Copies of this chain bind each other. A is one copy, B any other.
Amino acid sequence: MNREAGGPAPVAVDTMGGDHAPGVVVAGAVAAVREHGVRLVLVGQAPRIRRELDRHGVVGEIPIVHADEALDMGEGALASWRKPRSSVAIACHLIKQGQASALVSAGSTAGIVATSRLRLKGQQGVLRPAIAVELPTLPRPTVLLDAGATADVKPETLLQFAALGTAYARIRLGLARPRVGLLTIGAEPGKGDKVTRRAHELLASGHHEIEFAGNVEGHDLLTGAVDVIVTDGFTGNVALKTMEGTVRMAFAELRSAMTASRTARVGALLQRRRLTELRDRLDSDTYGGGVLLGLNGTVVIAHGSARARAITSACVLAHALAAGRIVDRIREQVALTRTSRFGRRPHPEPEPEPEPLPEEPPEPDPS
């Protein structure tokens, strides 16, 4: 684990998380190493990982750290307490030790969020974590946060989410001053619920180095009107899943429209390639995963049903964020929001102490 060799420490991949673990996860990880040169460390049951690596003929090329346990897909927040040696917990430990720069997992979102909050802890000054996702707009993605980490927010939390999203968009979209929109139910400042109206005031105060572009509505999610869209984790999750469900339904209807008659079938053949490209762009499975921001380490959450390609994207994303030093950028950006004359100093809730890990920190197994 040579951090001085240039670039961040390797990305820890939880090989035990997801519907198709470990086979598909390892396949995606191998592609990330081969095709994108991402440095990885694979966490999970070492014999099974080794067997998968053997299939790809790369045993010994990617380091393995053994973990006895894995979070189940149905497992929620309690898993973080019940399973102190889960692959996600071990990966978090590697990050704390500086032996990994980020974590990629396709496990249960609730389990990953709970475990990484417990193990990595919230960044100093950050009220609540948020999950950022990249919506498939053109010419570049739009960052939506929070996609589901924090359901109940205060106005100050939304102001901080704007800071988190700004830091993220700088690194991923290469924009110096990404434009931030506040998701609400009307274009005018007075529209929305109480929390959003107050958040609008905070964002509009202009004392925080955030390029606030005003309110955006649900139909702006896919128009690329702004670079970052800020909302609470409840609304953001509903909006994201509504978008995914609508795309899925539209394509199912389209398929049925196309195969309903002989002439339509002929037409369908002619267009199949273009439509497949289109569906793939809109399919959540292909555009990487969500990124949990605001902790002392970067956590990329891939869909549980993720295919190898989505795991590869998630590894590339995790590497890019670690290389861009996202945690440092967030700390700087959030500190600026505190100089606001409106902003209150954050009071993070005390985090419970996790069960200590085994005395001996797990050593990378060069297999």
Contact = CB atoms under 8 A, between A and B. Distances in A.
Interface string A183-227: 111101010111010000000000000000000011111110000
A152 interface: yes
Given A185-B233, A185-B234, A250-B282, A257 B274 contact: yes
A242 B218 contact: yes
A185 B246 contact: no
A86 to B, nearest CB: 20
A271 interface: yes
Given A264-B270, A270-B266, A242 B246 contact: yes
A336 interface: no
Interface in A258-298: 258, 260-261, 263-264, 266-271, 274-275, 277-278, 282
A46 interface: no
A241 B264 contact: no
Interface of A: 76, 110, 148, 151-152, 183-186, 188, 190, 192-194, 196, 217-223, 231-235, 237-251, 253-254, 257-258, 260-261, 263-264, 266-271, 274-275, 277-278, 282
Contacts of A194: 151-152
Contacts of A266: 267, 270
B238 A223 contact: no
B239 A257 contact: no
Nearest to A234: B193
A267 B190 CA distance: 48
Contacts of A188: 76
B242 A185 contact: no
8 contacts: A193-B234, A218-B238, A219-B244, A242-B246, A257-B271, A257-B274, A263-B271, A264-B274
| Copies, count | 2
Contact of A243 (B246, B261, B263): B246
B219 A242 contact: yes
A266 B268 CA distance: 10
A221 B235 contact: no
A258 B247 CA distance: 17
Contacts of A148: 185
Given A233-B185, A235-B235, A245 B258 contact: no
Contacts of A238: 183-185, 217-218, 231, 235, 238-239
B217 A241 contact: yes
Given A217-B241, A242-B219, A152 B257 contact: no
> Which 7 residue pairs spanning A and B have beta carbons closest together?
A218-B241, A219-B245, A267-B267, A267-B270, A218-B242, A151-B193, A246-B246
A238 B258 CA distance: 31
A2 to B, nearest CB: 41
Contact of A278 (B257, B268, B275): B257
A250 B250 contact: yes
Contacts of A282: 250, 253
A310 B232 CA distance: 34
Contact of A237 (B218, B221, B231): B218
B274 A260 contact: yes
Given A151-B192, A222-B249, A258-B274, 19 more contacts: A185-B237, A192-B234, A219-B248, A221-B245, A223-B245, A235-B235, A238-B239, A242-B243, A242-B246, A243-B243, A246-B247, A253-B278, A253-B282, A254-B254, A254-B278, A257-B271, A261-B274, A264-B271, A268-B271
